[in-house]
Structure 1
C-alpha cells in the first residue's frame, strides 16, 4: 500500500476505536504452544501476501503491512458473506474536508492462518474498493493486516525464502547469531528507525524513516518535512501510486548512500512525492520518509515490537543493483485471474513513447510470449532488466470513439537507462 494511504489512515483512524473484551486481549496467537511457527507467503515484488480465513469463511489474500495501524478490508460484499457484523458507519474525510468514501466498522472477528489465529479483531470495511490493489500488485488482495499481527510477538521476515516466522514472545531474549540490533520507535502503532543518507546534490541527512513492508518502493523522502532534502538534478517525473485522495505524483531519482546502522546501500532508487493535503500528517510524525520492500528485501529482519528493536542482517540480494524501469511503461492488470494487462502510463520521451505505445493499450504478447504466461512482477522485472535489451510488444488498441473497433499494433524498442 502506498505511504500516502497510510498517512491518511493515520489521520482518519484516530476515530476508529480499539475493540477489547474483558479477560481477553485482541491479537495474534499460536494455536499450540511452540517456540515458533513458519508461514510461507506469496511474494509479489517482495510484498508479503498470505491467505487468511475470517470467521470460518473461505481463505482470501491479505497484505501484511507494518505501515498500517488497523486492519482494513476492501470488499463490503465479501465481508457480508463472511458474517461480519457492523456497529456503525464512518464517512472518511480527507484533510481538505471532502468526503472520500464511506466505511463500516466491524469490531469482533476471528482470523485463521493455520497454526496462528487472530482473536477479537476489529476491521474497517470499505464500502467501495477504491484502492484496487490487484491492478497494482497483480495478485488478488482483499485486505491489509497491520499492527495487530506484530504487536505481541517477534516476527521474522525472510525475503530470500518467502517465509514469515512467528515466535513465542520469550523465544528471542538473545540476539540470533549474525544479526545486528537497532532500536525502533513504535509511534502511532508504526515502527520507525534512525538512518543516515548521503544525497547527490544536498547535505547529509539524519533521517527518521517508517519501516513499511507494504510499500514496494525502496526509499521515499518527503521533501516538505526537511528543507535539507534536495531533489537530484537527474530525476524523472512519475506517477508514484494511488491514495484515498487520488493519484500521487512526484519524482524518482537516486541517493548516493543509505546507512542503516552499519549496512550501507548505494545508489538507492528514491521516490520524492509532491506535497499534498496529507503532508501535515506526515510532518507531525517527525519522519522524513519511509523504507519499502525494495530495500527491506535485501535483508533478513526480525521485527520485535515487545522489545522495541529490529534485528537484521544481509540477505542474498544485499549487493544487487537498484534498478528502475527502462521502458517508460507502467503496466497494470485488468484481471489477475484472466491475465489481462494494459498500459496505464507512458513516460514522455521514453523508448516506448518514441515508438508509439499509448495509454490503455492492452498487451497481447511480450517478446512473442502470450500475456497469459506472464505475471505482473515478471513484466516489471523484464522492463528494468538490461540496457539495450530488445522488447517486442503486440498491443490491442481500442478506438475511443467506437469501442467496437480495435487495431493490433506491433512495436519494438530497446531498454534505455534513464536514472
Structure 2
C-alpha cells in the first residue's frame, strides 16, 4: 500500500507539472508581481525573456499568440526549435504573411514563467515595427498572459501587475466602472456608446492595447456610423498585412458608462483593410491606446471582467498630426559633434584668453564624427502642409525648428507635429546627398 500511495503521489505531481508547463505561473509566495513598462506612443512595452534572451514586447489584448518581428536578427541567440511554416493575417490590404510556428519556448516576465510557450516568428524585414516607434521592440504578446492572470495596467504609474486569479481580491472602488467582457476568437470586446451627427449609437468594440490610435469605427449607414462631412483622409497605421488608410474625424462624445470623453478622435478605416475584422458578429470597431491610457485597467479574462478607473491622462486633449508627416527611424548617419574643453599653460607657452597667477587658461574645441539615428519621412498625406511645402517621402530630417534631430527621440519630434494650428515648422532635410530647407504651418483640418 505504501508503494502504491507513493506511485499515486508521483503520478499526481507529474500531471500537475505537465499542466503547469502549459500556463504562466508566478514563482514567488505572494503569487503576484509588478513589472515596470515604457509607454511609447500610447503602447505598453514590457521586458520579456525568451529562451534566456532579453527582449521587449508590446502588451497587446488584440493578439492571440506571441509574435517576434525581424526574426533573422536574433534567431541565433533565441535557439527556437520545433518549427513549422504557417501563414497569418492582420490588418491591411496585403496578403497573409509567412511565419514560423515554434513550440516549447521558455517565456519569463518578471517572476512569471511559462515552460512550453508557442510563438510565431516573422522574418520579413518590412514588418519590423521598431523604426516607427523609435525604440527597440521585438514582438507582441497578449492572450497567453491575460488568460493566466488578472492583469492590472497602471498607465499613470507605468507598471503592470500580474496576479494568479485564485489569489486576486477585488476591492471596493466607488470611482470605478466595471464591464462584462465578451470574447470572440479569444479576443475581448466591450460595449460602449458613441455620439455622431447628434445621434447616440451603442457600439461593440475590440479592446486593442496594441493600437496607438483612439477609436476606429466601421462605417455603417444603417446604424448611423458615418463620417459625415467633417473628415480628412490619412494614413491610419501599419498592420501585419500592410498599411491601413481611411478617414479621420471627431466624435461628439464617447462614453464607457459614466465616463464620457468629449471630442474624441475617431478613424474610419477603408473597408478593404478591415474586411476580415468586420466578419466578427456585431463588431463596430476598436478602442485603442489613446483612450485606454486615460484609465488604469484591471483585466480579468477568467471572470470576463474589466474595471476602469480614471487617471491623470483622462482630461488630456485629443489631438492629431497637423503636418501630414509620418517618420520612422532609418538607420544611422555620421554627425560632426564638437567637444569643448579647457587646459592650463604656463605664461611663456603661448597666447591665452584668461590668465591668473602665471597660469593661463586656454579654451578650445575639437570635433569628432559620431553615428547618430536618422529619421526619414515614410508617409506623407496628400495636400498636407508638408507636401504642399515640397517635402517628399524618403527625406531625412536633419533639424526641426533649429534643433538637431539626432538629439531627440522619435516621439519628441512627432509631438511637434501635433501642436496648435498656425505653429511654424522649419525643417532642414537631406535628399540625394543634398541639403534643403523647408517651412510650413500646421493646419487644423477638423
TM-score (norm 1): 0.87
SS of the equivalent of 2:20 reads coil
- Encode CA deviations 1:13-52: one digit per residue, 9 max, x unaligned: xxxxxxx984335232211121532111111112011222
SS of the equivalent of 1:175 reads coil
- Encode CA deviations 1:109-163: one digit per residue, 9 max, x unaligned: 1112232223311001123244220122111211111100111211111111211
| Alignment pair present for 1:76 and 2:71 | yes
* Further displaced range: 363-372 or 31-40: 31-40
How much does 1:60 deviate? Answer: 1.3
Query: Quick one: structure 1 residues 122 and 338, their matched pair in 2 at CA, closer, same or farther if it must change by over 3 Å?
Result: farther
- Encode CA deviations 1:47-92: one digit per residue, 9 max, x unaligned: 01122221112x1111110010111112332234311102422244
Out of 234, 238, 241, the position equivalent to 1:238 is: 234
- Separation (CA, whole Å) in 2 of partners of 1:372 and 1:237: 30
What is aligned with 1:169?
165
Query: Quick one: structure 1 residues 84 and 168, their matched pair in 2 at CA, closer, same or farther if it must change by over 3 Å?
Result: same
Query: Quick one: structure 1 residues 268 and 294, their matched pair in 2 at CA, closer, same or farther if it must change by over 3 Å?
Result: same
- Encode CA deviations 1:185-207: one digit per residue, 9 max, x unaligned: 122111110001101x3732110
- Separation (CA, whole Å) in 2 of partners of 1:94 and 1:154: 26
| Alignment pair present for 1:342 and 2:369 | no
What is aligned with 1:401?
none
Q: How does 1:226-305 map to 2 (within 5 A)?
A: 227-276=223-272, 278-305=274-301
Q: How does 1:16-415 map to 2 (within 5 A)?
A: 22-34=18-30, 36-57=32-53, 59-77=54-72, 78-92=74-88, 100-177=96-173, 178-199=175-196, 201=197, 203-223=199-219, 227-276=223-272, 278-335=274-331, 338-398=372-432, 406-415=433-442
Unpaired segments of 5 or more residues in structure 1? 1-19, 399-405
What is aligned with 1:417?
444
Query: Quick one: structure 1 residues 64 and 95, their matched pair in 2 at CA, closer, same or farther if it must change by over 3 Å?
Result: closer
- Contact residue 339 and residue 375 of structure 1 kept, 8 A: no
Number of equivalent positions: 391
- Encode CA deviations 1:178-235: one digit per residue, 9 max, x unaligned: 3221111122111110001101x37321100011000000000012596521113111
How much does 1:333 deviate? Answer: 1.7
How much does 1:291 deviate? Answer: 0.6
- Contact residue 91 and residue 99 of structure 1 kept, 8 A: no
Unpaired segments of 5 or more residues in structure 2? 1-15, 333-370
Query: Quick one: structure 1 residues 119 and 176, their matched pair in 2 at CA, closer, same or farther if it must change by over 3 Å?
Result: farther
The structure that has the greater radius of gyration is 2
TM-score (norm 2): 0.82
